Chains A and B, each alone.
Chain A
Amino acid sequence: MTVDRETIARVARVARLQLSPEEESRLQADADAILAYFSSIQALAGEEAPLAASGELREDAVEPFSRPDEIRRGFPRQKEGVALVPRGLR
């Protein structure tokens, strides 16, 4: 077995996925089968080359957006034009 149930539960917490026991069980079986099927790729394991930037980047500058209300319209919760996010500290 490549991935056990305990590992799936741990990865799900890191990934912010809330899984029912049935989902956890099915995903464990799927992940195990998928990774077993893909395992021959490990023969190619080596040093990861550092990522090189490609293409031309535009200037990292603030651009005006003329219709902020259209963005505000999509806020699921808001107060006086500001998006409300869940409480981070109790």
Chain B
Amino acid sequence: MSRADYGSLFSAVEACRGGDSVEERVAGFAERAGSDPFNAYVTLAPERAIARARGLDRSPRTGKLFGLVVSVKDNIAVRDVRMTCGSRILQDYVAPYDATVVQRLEAEGAVILGKTNLDEFACGSSGERSAFGPTRNPRDPERVPGGSSSGAGASVAAGYCDIAVGSDTGGSVRCPASFCGVTAFKPSYGLVSRHGLADMAMSLEGPAPLSASVEGCALFLDAVCGTDPRDPATTATPGRRFRDALSEPLPRLRFGVAREMFDSLAPEVERRTRDAAARLAEGALSEVSMPALEHSLAAYYLITYSEFASAMQRFDGYRYGLRAPDEGLSETTMQNRAALGAEVKRRILLGTYVTMKEYRGKWYSSALAARDAIREGFERAFRQVDLLLAPTMPFPAFKLAERISDPLAMYAADVLTVSANLAGVPAGSVPIPGPGLPVGLQIIGPRGEDARVLRTMAAWEEMAG
């Protein structure tokens, strides 16, 4: 994203509010997305989008996102549009209601163009585990786009939308942003309602935006954040607009790097991240130690397995979804689940195992203790520094099929992103310009300091040019 492009989304909103045709704008995006060689979209809904655009053209032309084109990850409900969660068991399911984020985006004049591909039920880090085929990385189609919001990342990188709505449980928007060379932001836990998101691990996740620049992430938050009676974890809206925060003067901040986040990195990732951190911090950079991060992958996966195994019990095929022939309750449920993919089965199995009475103390309770230790580690670090800087991913995008058969090699991709979810803190990823494959810089802040993280992401965009 060049400096010249900064502010381009807001300009588009202004132009549409001023009388430019939303229908023509949406038709342009629909035509581009119609070709989609990257498998970014599972379901395109151009007729719905055009009808909506025509309605906006006849409206009083107001709204923070008026005329912007949005893609929605296919684990978030859009009324009357198919919602597959990337799974065969929901291949024909049509959502009868809108998620809160969808309601709020449309209320601000956004147009939803379609539903984007994802790892089945968001279980994956590469975008290869969808029942509808893998998504490819627009920056190099032989490589993965990252996951689980794979289609969301590709839809932004390929120019098929202005803003993509993904979800982030352990890095699922930051990973594709890093691999595809775009921007993403995981808000503080509770800032954005989860109502209408098919949960993978409800204590860790929420809807989260990706866009070509931080401005898209800020506009998304301005439209959707705030309390929702349908999600008791939601917190009150901050008193000011996030987009306005982007142009406020940048206060003098103390930056930190955690030495545990610089272990075992690909050499170019380490070099580019250290260079970027030094430039951004302008001398105010110190090293902190967060030893509990050693346990972040184990804590994250054990908690995710447990919550996921519980969440998946609703997909019994009785009220919606794929239904096997009736052979009794247990048999039918088992046969319905036979259509699930390998990673989903692995997580259900392990989640059941680690929460069984005889194993719970050894595994699940330990994971909860590790989560507490990681949260305390962040609290201690944020007494010393205002923001932490780290790579988003330990390596650039890898080739399709390179890690798919080795679950531990795949999980290792998440090592730098999961801790922000365990601690509930905000974290963004912005591209570090350079030759070769994209690399993302991760900026992590204390819980509730989302505007500070976004402001600093904008400062990096300006600096990186």
Give the interface of A toward B (CB within 8 A): 3, 7-8, 11-12, 14-19, 23, 26-27, 30-31, 33-35, 37-38, 40-49, 54-58, 67, 70-71, 73-77, 83, 85-88, 90
Q: Cβ of A27 and Cβ of B322 under 8 Å apart?
A: no
CA distance A87 to B323 in the complex (A): 14
Number of A-B contacts (CB under 8 A): 144
Whether, in the assembled complex, B327 has its beta carbon less than 8 Å from a beta carbon of chain A, the answer is yes
**Cross-interface CB contact of A58 among B229, B352, B356, cutoff 8 Å:** B229
Q: Cβ of B328 and Cβ of A31 under 8 Å apart?
A: no
Q: Cβ of A31 and Cβ of B96 under 8 Å apart?
A: no
A44 neighbours in B (Cβ, 8 Å): 295, 366, 369-370, 373
B338 neighbours in A (Cβ, 8 Å): 18
Q: Cβ of B352 and Cβ of A71 under 8 Å apart?
A: no
- Chain A residue with the shortest CB-CB distance to B313: A16
Q: Cβ of B337 and Cβ of A17 under 8 Å apart?
A: yes
CA distance A48 to B345 in the complex (A): 27
Whether, in the assembled complex, B197 has its beta carbon less than 8 Å from a beta carbon of chain A, the answer is no
B368 neighbours in A (Cβ, 8 Å): 48-49
Q: Mark B325-348, 1 if CB is under 8 A from A, else 0.
A: 011111111110110001001101
Whether, in the assembled complex, B317 has its beta carbon less than 8 Å from a beta carbon of chain A, the answer is yes
Tell me how far the C-beta of A24 lies from the nearest C-beta in chain B, rounded to whole angstroms. 10
- Chain B residue with the shortest CB-CB distance to A12: B349
Scan residues 302-335 of chain B and give those whose CB is less than 8 A from a CB of chain A: 302, 309, 317-323, 326-335
A87-B328 contact given A14-B356, A58-B232, A76-B323, CB 8 Å threshold: yes
Q: Cβ of A55 and Cβ of B337 under 8 Å apart?
A: no
Q: Cβ of B329 and Cβ of A86 under 8 Å apart?
A: yes
Sampled A-B contacts (20; CB under 8 Å): A11-B352, A16-B334, A16-B337, A17-B349, A18-B338, A27-B346, A30-B407, A41-B299, A46-B365, A54-B233, A57-B232, A58-B229, A71-B96, A73-B96, A74-B94, A74-B96, A83-B318, A83-B319, A87-B328, A87-B329
Q: Cβ of A90 and Cβ of B328 under 8 Å apart?
A: yes
A41-B366 contact given A57-B232, A71-B96, CB 8 Å threshold: yes
A41-B345 contact given A56-B232, A58-B230, CB 8 Å threshold: no
Tell me how far the C-beta of B428 lies from the nearest C-beta in chain A, rounded to whole angstroms. 25
